[in-house]
Chains A and B, each alone.
Chain A
Amino acid sequence: MAHIQEPQVTVLPPNKEKIKKLWRVAGILGIITAFEFLIAFTMAHGPLKTSIFVGMTIIKAAYIVGEFMHLRYESKVLLWAILIPLIFVVWMLVAFIYEGMKLSIINF
């Protein structure tokens, strides 16, 4: 008779401190989003409003990537291997928005 051996598993108790920290990050993300809503309806459209939104988005992204995706606690080589290539995105963004504004002058 075949006998399947049950795996011996030791379940550790929940890491209270870690879980509390995760909920705190969730709270920060919620507060930043609520603040974005506040700005969306109280400020006039313009470059300042856009920069505030971009800044807050980067803060939120840093929390998600750093804490939820655990990148802050991985080795530094991995961190930079992910972050450095993203410089190209910033370059692309600046180049194309500039191009778009020039096109706007030509077309309209």
Chain B
Amino acid sequence: MGASYGKLMMWFFLLSDAFTFSSLLVTYGLIRSAHPAYSGTVDAFTFSTEYWPIPEKVFEAVPFLHGIELPLVFVGIMTFVLIMSSVTMVLAVEAGHRMDKKAVEKWMLWTLLGGITFLSCQAWEWTHFIVGTDTPTLVKDFVNGVAVTKPVTGANLSINQYGPQAFADFFFFITGFHGFHVFSGVLLNFLIFYNTFTGVYERRGSYEMVEKVGLYWHFVDLVWVFVFTFFYLV
């Protein structure tokens, strides 16, 4: 197919990974469309387990700005960070084609910085999601087989304040699976940086490994584009 064995196999791995992510997102679509949607105005929205929450009301916090409603701003910053690290990755690939060791090192370091920044942002976002808002939501639950209504703040895999239980479960599974991919990507990028730094690719006479790991890194960015739309915007 005109591509080297390694690149071809990376493409087919990414195709299978795309199927895994699509099954997660399609299941999200199934469960979401099987729940009632919120029908009132955006301003009057309150958390309830009766309907699916609107994401801009769930994800509205930004670090150091407690109590200020900034819908989707933080996730917008995360998107920007990931797209920028994709750009620096493709610049590293371009430098590799020119056998420019110094430039590959420089751009790989920027890419690593982007990946680590994204993971740190996600750690903060998860913490905020798990801890919850200042005011609790009343949630129906079973305690020792008895139905009770109790105030809940935050979320975990068995109870959550934001809406139907599946909402929190999907948040943890989808963003968690993506975050794990970013984490593996950062490790692979570090390996590439290390091998470039020690001159492995220069001695080999080819920087194709940068290209292969680059494909993986762009795929992680691509998945985020879809997660961003289907989880945070729609």
Contacts and interface: CB of A to CB of B under 8 A. Distances in A.
Interface string A75-92: 101100110011011001
A56 to B, nearest CB: 8
Interface residues of A, number: 55
B64 interface: no
B34 A18 contact: no
Interface in B107-151: none
Interface string B8-26: 1001000100110011001
Contact of A97 (B30, B37, B203): B30
B18 A89 contact: yes
Contacts of B26: 89, 92-93, 96-97
Contacts of A49: 234
Interface residues on B, range: 35 or more
Contact of A100 (B11, B15, B29, B233): B29
Contacts of B79: 33
Contacts of B84: 26
Contacts of A107: 34
Nearest to A49: B234
A86 B19 CA distance: 8
A30 B52 CA distance: 29
Given A81-B1, A100-B32, A64 B86 contact: yes
Contacts of A22: 87, 90-91, 94
B76 interface: yes
Contacts of B97: 12, 15
B159 interface: no
B27 interface: yes
B158 interface: no
Given A33-B76, A96-B30, A100-B29, A64 B203 contact: no
B54 A45 contact: yes
B19 A89 contact: yes
A2 interface: no
22 contacts: A7-B205, A9-B202, A10-B99, A11-B100, A13-B98, A29-B83, A53-B229, A54-B234, A64-B218, A64-B222, A64-B225, A69-B214, A69-B218, A75-B3, A77-B1, A81-B1, A82-B15, A89-B19, A99-B34, A103-B34, A104-B35, A104-B36
Ranked 6 nearest A-B pairs via Cβ: A100-B33, A75-B2, A103-B34, A12-B98, A96-B30, A100-B34
